[in-house]
Chain A
Amino acid sequence: MCLAVPGRVTAIFGEDPLIKTGRVDFGGIVREVNLCYVPEVQLGDYVVVHVGFALSIVDELEAQKIFEYLRQIGEMNLFDEQQS
């Protein structure tokens, strides 16, 4: 039940937030998704979808943070190796 998948919004229909729907592309598979819970969604955003409803818009900047952290660790480890 917790399983939700990220996909890219390729179309948005409907002005009224409660009946807003759209098309979301999950790596090639396109499904119709209810967008009522992400009223600020824009075309091209990635959303996390569960049982046909988008629950959250993926934050690109936050998504990068772990990889930035791992890059820094990698550089620090290289520095330590060079020192010893």
Chain B
Amino acid sequence: MKYIDEYRDNRAAVKLLAEIRRATTHEWTIMEICGGQTHSIVKYGIDQLLPPEISLVHGPGCPVCVTPIETIDAACYLAALPNVILCSYGDMLRVPGSRTDLLHLKASGSDIRIVYSPLDAVTVASKNPAKQVVFLAVGFETTAPANAMAVFNAAQRKLPNYSQLVSQVTVPAAITAILGASENRVQGFLAAGHVCAVTGYREYEPLAARFRVPIVVTGFEPIDLLHGILMCVRQLEVGSCLVENQYSRTVSRSGNSSAQDIMQRVYETCDRNWRGIGIIPNSGLRLREEFSGYDAESKFAITIEPGNDSAECIAGKILRGIMKPIDCPAFATRCNPESPLGATMVSSEGACAAYYRYRGQSQPTAK
């Protein structure tokens, strides 16, 4: 497949690894933001191929993983109501809530439908006028334009039976929280390529300058990741702290202006609770007043109270890059994809799911 196969070329990978080896003279800790990047790193063994001086830590860029447990509980509550059809991206169904999850509810008869595009949920609403359709609107800035267009579309069609349970999160505030934490060890970032395809990377420039860290906007294929790591290491070695764009075939500095327009018309910035991390100020999006008629929380008069996670789950530490999945005593024993303790074992972008799938259930060995 064009624009995929050539970015998985073995010879190119070998050359880039040699360049990284040549460039590295100190120990460096680099965080990749996005769960999709984590999966690619673990799948292709990039972390094991890099020189030992380079430590890759995994970031919180998995919107399924950071959706607060209380939002899952709210989705479960709504899905169980007799006249509600709950629509969701597939990944959300197995995420554990306080008592149950959407998949179990679906199995016991609740009308829960997996959608590929958020517009599919709008179609379900128009075809089922007697039912209330709630869409679980999860995602980072990559997904926000699509989620926003769904609300825009429903509003244009004046659909009275469509609403969103919003759990949108944004990246720059998370980077600020990670770098501002006292236990932070991250020295450089690989920023999420598709988030930046939407937002551009202008807002990362003040972050790089303020915290003096290089930030490289990076793609998802192994050649992209190796190239991004090379660019980051070269900056670290000379003490540079600029924003660079590795993923230039897809990302521009100003991003996608038509997507940003619709996002800003429909959503506004708010504080958000990140599962395992806590409240990060200005790290989320909520529906604007003009679209409040499409907000499931007000439509169904639900108050979302902070919930309690499994005491054993260390997902919060994994999402902040402080620990790895293999550091968890429950990994692959009491916690696995069939019976997960936390969201990072469920999501296709979750770090624990990546290690389980690509590293197996064997005991971790020292590098």
Contact = CB atoms under 8 A, between A and B. Distances in A.
Interface of A: 1-6, 8, 17, 26-27, 34, 36-39, 46, 48, 50-53, 55-56, 58-60, 62-63, 65-67, 70, 73-74
A47 B211 CA distance: 34
Contacts of A73: 15, 19
A56 B4 contact: no
B258 A50 contact: no
B88 to A, nearest CB: 12
B86 interface: no
Interface stretch (B59-67, B201-209, B287-295, B320-328): B59-67
A58 B142 contact: no
Contacts of A5: 4
B308 interface: no
B36 A2 contact: yes
Contact of B117 (A27, A52, A55, A62): A52
B53 interface: no
A51 B146 contact: yes
A8 B3 CA distance: 10
Contacts of B256: 37-38, 55-56
Q: How large is the interface on B (under 10, 10 to 19, 20 to 34, 35 or more residues)?
A: 35 or more
Nearest to B224: A66
Contact of A34 (B3, B89, B119, B138): B119
Contacts of A39: 258
Contacts of B62: 1
Interface stretch (B98-106, B247-255, B310-318): B247-255
A53 B146 contact: yes
Contacts of B223: 66
Interface in B120-157: 120, 138-140, 142-143, 145-146, 149
A63 B219 CA distance: 11
B116 A56 contact: no
